Amino acid sequence: MIKWEHSVFALPFALCGAMLAANGLPAIHQLAWIIVAMVAARSAAMAFNRLADTSMDAANPRTRTRALPAKELTPQFVSSFVVVSCAIFVIAASQLNRLALLLSPMALAVVLLYSYTKRFTRWSHLVLGLALGIAPAAAWIAVRGTLDPRILLLAAAVTFWVGGFDVLYSCQDYDFDRRAGLHSVPRYCGIARALWIARLFHLLMLLFLVALVFAFGLGKLAVAGIVVVSLLLLYEHSLVSAEDLSRLNAAFFTMNGVISVLFFFFIAGDLLLRSR
């Protein structure tokens, strides 16, 4: 039910936030607890989403083989898994600093309650983006114990990045969303326009990344990272069209995992070279 790639999406951006906060490598115990917190939060969010969407997943041909509708897991087990994951997240926050602990319930509220937004707003894609976008800001708080407005540029970039690929992904459910009365950008705008909205979101992501470079005075390696991300996003969008969504899974899982990891390596390399 919980896959490694679910954490790969956001974890590298959280590590970017931690390294920006430390202007290099954070302390080992900070890195360790940030990783524990990230994996726990993503696991809780994914499991809670499966609980909230069980009836819809059972009715949707694309998702009816998921663990809960297929009865491979029981709701009681998944509920317990959510509670344990949330507890681990709060414990991890408590090991970082007081502000991280105080904000941990708010972070959980964002990542858990996203699951219900598709029932009343077409912009649920951006709420999902926010659920992952708070990761770099949370990591900054984990390292510094305060919040610097500059890190919100990376949070905004992640929000629009995730929102863009979630719009792409939801194109698969265009017909089901219409029948079930669920809200999404493709349902209201059609698939062709939804693809353009996804492109706009990813353009905004790149603009926020450029602003991030200027805000932190990052160097050529970070700029190269943005160029690489741009090329990968172009390739991702080339995989899908309004007439052919057959390669959407490759666009969603593979390319976005690569984008996240590569961007981290470029930012980490830039910061480590600068701190020498």
CA dist 162 to 24, 84, 132, 138, 143, Å?
26, 26, 7, 17, 24
Q: Is the pLDDT confidence value at 250 over 60?
A: no
Averaged pLDDT, 96-108: 97
- Quote the CA–CA distance of 87 and 106 in Å, as a whole number: 14
Sign of the CA dihedral running 63, 64, 69, 73:
negative
How many CB atoms sit inside 10 A of residue 203's CB? 14
The pLDDT, as a whole number, for residue 251 is 59
Q: Which domains does the chain have, with CATH numbers?
A: 4-274 (1.10.357.140)
| CB-CB contact of 49 with 82 (8 Å) | no
List pLDDT tens digits, range 46-81. 999 999 999 999 999 988 999 999 999 999 999 999
Instruction: With beta carbons less than 8 A apart as the criterion, state whether 173 and 118 touch.
Output: no
pLDDT tens-digit readout, 176-219: 999 999 999 999 999 999 999 999 999 999 999 999 999 999 99
Specify the pLDDT at position 77.
Answer: 97
Structure tokens that stand for 176 in this block: 């089901």
